[in-house]
Each structure stands twice: as C-alpha cells, then as structure tokens.
Amino acid sequence: MSPVFDCSSESLRREGVARAAEALREGKLVVLPTDTLYGVGADAFNAEAVAALLAAKGRGRHMPPPVLVGDVRTMDGLAIDIPDYVRGLVEEFWPGPLTVVLKAQPSLTWDLGDTNGTVALRMPDHDLALEVLREVGPMAVSSANVTGWPAARTMVDAATQLGAAVFVYLDGGEARGGLASTILDCTTDEPVILREGALSREQLEPFFPAPSSQTQSAPTPSSPTPSPDSDPERSPTDE
C-alpha cells in the first residue's frame, strides 16, 4: 500500500509534502487535493512520469494533462503570445477554478502528449496543492480517477481507482469544490469556452475583449460537453 498522509495533522502534512516532493523529483506519481477535485500529478518536465500518469488513468497521448502552477508569474515562462484579456482573467480568478489554454513556449523541453503546441494552465486555490507546487514547480495534473470512472472527491476515491500506481497520497479531506474548473481557449483573439464548470460565462464575460457577444462556446459535435465527473482540468474530449 502506498503511504497516505493525513494533512489535517501539521506534522504529517510537513512529512507528506516532503515525501511527495521527493517522489515527484524521482518521476513518481502523487495524489493531492485541489480546490475542485482530487488530482494525480507528475513532474511536468519528466516525460516518463507524464506517460506513467496517462497510463495510470488508461488514456493515450491524445488526451494530454494540464499543468498546475504555484505562481501567476510562471504563466509567462510556459506560454507565449498571451492575449491581454488573459491577464485580467488570471488576476481575478487565480488562484481558482479557471483553466486557460495558451500557446506553449516552444523552447520548453517537455512532452505532455499531443498538445498541438498548446498548454492548459491553472493555479489552484488550495493551500496544500500550492505548497507542493511551490516546492517542486509546475506539475502535470489530471483528475485522480481512471478514465470513464467518477472523479475523486476524497483520497479514498482516488486510492480505490489508482492504487499502487501512485507513490504518495496526500489526504486533505473531501474536496470542497466538487465542480470541474472552467476551461477557456485563449489561443486566439476571441476566447472560447471549452467547458463551463465552476465559473460561469456570466462571471467571465466582463473580461472578454469586445465584442463578447461573438465569443463562442463549446461543445461542437465532435467535442461533447463534459459532465461534472469529467477530468477537472482539461478539454471536453478528455473523458
């Protein structure tokens, strides 16, 4: 059985974060809570670890994981051609349940899968997740469930599905959000809502460039709207 750390205890939290950071640096997988649902994470710059994450979930390279960051400033190191409206969005909604899809920095030596030159970024509003992220840097994180199974709202939910594929489990209690993050494609001048989750269109529209009425929303016939049980961080075609 992989070690589980009850992070309601300060001493176990410190030990758990240290063990999780060590595991991530060694290319292993870690489960941790976020402000939406539980996630399973790997070092974003370790291609073998990212491949192990996808394998644990039973998904292929065509369903790349998003990247969680511990600081807003990290966005500029991971993405290019960031539209001005994105600055306002992340200032308002980060940390929080907003995932922005941007053009990836081409100089980065990482392999998240078949991303088509994009990266989905989010800064979670959860102290434990941020503590780990600030210790190890950007993490590839996907929902802590097997593809097609219900998303994990507790550590037990995650462990039941992922088992020994994960090296360390951080138990932060039941995920307080329960709704997936809202995903916004920001790779063009007009933002496109790929999935409406914890943040509504009405909350986002004041930050969209004019004319916001022309901004389109997913789904298209090939991209069905995900349910709240879908991957909390990535595109509508993930689950």
Is 190 within the bounds of a domain?
yes
Is 226 within the bounds of a domain?
no
Is 237 within the bounds of a domain?
no
pTM of the entire predicted model = 0.89
Is 225 within the bounds of a domain?
no
Question: How high is the pLDDT of residue 216?
Answer: 52
Is 90 within the bounds of a domain?
yes
Burial code of 75-109, b = ≥16 C-beta within 10 A, e = fewer?
beebbeebbebbeebbeebbbbbbbbbbbbbeeee
Distance (Å, rounded) from C-alpha 129 to C-alpha 91? 19
Side chain identity at 99, as an amino acid letter? T
Question: How high is the pLDDT of residue 237?
Answer: 32
Is 71 within the bounds of a domain?
yes
Is 220 within the bounds of a domain?
no
- SS3 state at 2: coil
% residues pLDDT > 70 (the chain): 88
| 61-94 pLDDT, tens digit each | 999 999 999 999 999 999 999 999 999 999 999 9
Question: How high is the pLDDT of residue 176?
Answer: 85
pLDDT band at 177 (very low <50, low <70, confident <90, very high): confident
Give the total number of structural domains in the chain: 1
Domain span holding position 50: 4-214
The CATH number of the domain holding residue 14 is: 3.90.870.10
pLDDT band at 3 (very low <50, low <70, confident <90, very high): very high
